[in-house]
Structures are given as C-alpha cells and as structure tokens.
Amino acid sequence: MHFAGRERLLWLAAPWLAATAVLASMVLALLVAPHGPIVPDPESAARAQLRAMIGQMLVIGFPGTSVQEEWPARIAKMIGQGEIGGVLLLGDNIESPEQLRELTAALRGAGGMFPPLIAVDQEGGAVQRLSPYKGFLGLPAAKTVAGTDVETAYALYAEQARQLVAEGITVNFGPVADLDLNPDNPIIGRLARSYGERPEVVASFGRAFVAAHREAGVLTAAKHFPGHGSGDSDPHDRAVNPATRWQKQELAPFRSLMEEEPRVPMVMVGHLIIEGFSDGDAPTSLSRRAVTDVLREELAFNGLIITDDLDMAAVRERYGREEAFVRAAAAGNDLLLSANRAAPDQDLVEKVTRALVGAVEDGRINREQIEASYRRIAAAKRSLSPRSGLQ
C-alpha cells in the first residue's frame, strides 16, 4: 500500500505526538494546580516518546476469543493507547471464521496511531491455527507440500494467504527454513515441519510461501534462525543445544530467502545455543552476536527481526520475563514476542515496558537502536495490503 505525504509524516511522528500529549497534560496541571505552578519536566516527554517506540516492538498473546471478555478487552485498550504493536493469536483464540473476523476487526478498530500487527502460526500440518475442523481451508504439512512442486505450493499458499487477509491476519510466522537433519527432532522432524534436508529445496519452497503471502499483502517470517532442524529438544521445555549436530549449511536457506527475490520481510530467531552465535551460553534469541553481528551485519539483513516466543521455558525459566525482554532488545531484535500463556500476567506489558525504558536510561540498550527498530516496524506496517485494514 502507499501512503500520501501527510499520512507518512503521521506514522513517523507518532512517538513525538505521544510526548506532546504528556506536555499538554502538564500545561493543564499548571492551570488547575491548587498549590502553585508545576514546572514541566522535559525528561517526561522524552520518556513518553521512548515508551511509544517500545510499545510498537511488543507482540503479545492473550487468552480469549472476543473483546467482550476481560483479556481481549484489555489488549484492545493497550492497542488503542499505543502500548503494544501487535498480537499473537493461538488456537484457543480462534473458534470459527466469523468469530475470528469479529475479533480481528475489533482489534484493528481499537484506535491509536498505529493499527496492530495480527500474527498467527499458519504453516500447515501440525502447526496451523486456522484449521479445517474449525471451518478454515487448512494446509498440508511442509514435508507433504515438498512432495509436489513449487507451482503447486505457490497455489496452495496463495489460497491460504487470501483467507488470512479475509480474516484480518497480517502476519504469518512462516516459512520454516529449518533443514530436516534429525528425524527425531521433536519440534521439527517429527512434526514434518521442514521441506527437506537439502538447502536449495527448502529455499525454493520457502520462496513460494513468501511470494504467495507478499502478493496478498501478508508479512512472513523465516524461522528458526540460525537453524533448528539438527536439534534434539523442544524450546518449549528447555533451551536447544545442538552444538555437536549443527551444520553451517543450515544457514543456507535463510541466506537465500534474505538475498533472492522475493525477499522475506522478517526473520524469527530461535532459542538455540550454538558456538559462534551465542554469547556464552545464552540462546541465540538473546545473543547480540547472533542477532546483530551475524544476522544484521554479516548477512546484511535489513528487514524485521523477531524473537521466538519469550514465554517458552527455554527463556522464561532461566531469565525471568523482564530480563528476557531486556536481553532480547539489547541483542538487536526489533519485535519481542510473548504468548503470555504459561502463567498469564495482566501486567506483563507494563512490567516489561518499565524494564526496557530503565535499560535504555541506564545504558544497557542504545536509544538509537530502539529508534531504528521503530522505523523498520513503521515501514513494514506501511507495506501491508489495504485489505488487511492497515490503511
């Protein structure tokens, strides 16, 4: 989609508008203060601007299926106030096409300067939130699709992408770019989520996935960088350490999807511990070496970088939620994802926002890095189809 000059300026000026709102409230306080004038604090405006930018980095899940319920209503309010930039919908958020359309319409209509990213995992096979038994088209698993040809795959994914747009979905977390190197891998191999063990095959079917979604105006995210297929454990339970198995060829599909048209607009970083990518024994999702040094600089990826779910035990139980978000942002991720399901916390957004603001103010995170992430997020939202409601 294309924005006229005025709308583009509004998008880029959003953090400053938030800061201006803070100053306006201070001026009002000057007029009504019973004990003399209150001196406005210029630092408060800078902090409001910072919070507005951080808000766009947060992609948060929630229980519930309708904004008539407490949790979804709270999420809609946070969207309207600019406290979060997107949501993750899981299977328990989705009951039927009609219900999903109503939910996404309510979230898009919540107000605020920025419409939200509305994301799902719709890979096909074992991982699809819009499943056939709920009345949706559904998709075969990647391994099954790879048994056809690229043209057939594109047609399947194009039909799926059109349905996502019709249901108000703007981000699909796929394609899976992991190589099928360990058939006993509980999260990739056993679930048939990979297109195969050959990098060129995985890349070709991955490009069909990306191209079909791009044509429909839906963002995609290649996952799970730098390669999950050789692992032997599930990050939902603990950090994956495939150090003795990981192979350099696992980078090839990601490199291809980032360099060859159609380029993937987003990459998701997994919770993997791999020498050369991890900072010490930190998972790659929280590693500046993996996210900034390798993905952003060495591989020259200019799109959005998103963490895998920070609510997984691999991260949450080791670092705690606030620290995990701080480490993820410090590593250079643009979008910080949490399903918020293991122990749903209604105050999660405020807690992690406060922690992130504090980390910027004490120097753990560079403010210019937050500003760069904000610019990339705004550009990605501008690229979405008008049919998605982001207009």
User: Is the pLDDT at 378 greater than 50, yes or no?
Assistant: yes
- Candidates 174, 172, 94, 115; CA nearest to 142 is 174
Annotated catalytic residue 271: no
- pLDDT score, position 241: 62
Mean pLDDT of 256-265: 96
Residue 298 DSSP one-character state: I
Strand partners, 171: 119, 219
Residue 257 and residue 299 in contact, taking contact as beta carbons nearer than 8 Å: no
Instruction: Name the band, by pLDDT with cuts 50, 70 and 90, for residue 23.
Output: very low
What local confidence, expressed as pLDDT, does residue 3 receive?
38
Per-residue model confidence as pLDDT tens digits over 97-113: 999 999 999 999 998 88
Structure token digits, residue 356: 């992130």
Answer yes or no: 213 catalytic: no
pLDDT of residue 239: 60
Measure the CA–CA gap between 30 and 309, rounded to whole angstroms.
44
| Residue 123 CA from chain centroid, whole number | 15
| Residue with the two structure tokens 């939130």 | 129
Helix (H) or strand (E) holding 171, with range, is strand 171-172
The full set of domains in the chain, from first to last, is 54-388 (3.20.20.300)
Q: How far apart are CA 313 and CA 315, in angstroms?
A: 5
Cβ-defined contacts of 292-295 (< 8 Å, 24+):
292/331, 292/332, 294/226, 295/225, 295/226, 295/267, 295/269, 295/332
Q: At what angle do helices 367-382 and 5-32 cross, to 10 degrees?
A: 130
Helices H / strands E in the chain, number of each: 13, 10
Both structure tokens of 285: 């999702």
The predicted pLDDT at position 371 comes to 97
Active-site position among 232, 234, 236, 345: 236
Looking at residue 167, what DSSP letter applies? T
SS3 372: helix
Q: Report d(CA 172, CA 49) in Å as an integer.
A: 29
- Cβ atoms within 10 Å of 35's Cβ, excluding its own: 5
- pLDDT confidence tier of residue 234, bands split at 50, 70 and 90: low
Q: What is the pLDDT of residue 55?
A: 98
pTM: 0.89
- Annotated catalytic residue within 178, 308, 311, 334: 308
pLDDT class of 280 with cuts at 50, 70, 90: confident
Q: What is the pLDDT of residues 115-145, one digit of tens each?
A: 899 999 999 999 999 999 999 999 999 999 9
Contact in structure between 263 and 255 (CB atoms under 8 Å):
no
Instruction: Dump the DSSP string for 103-153.
Output: HHHHHHTT-SSSPPEEEE-EEETTEESS-GGGTS-----HHHHTTS-HHHH
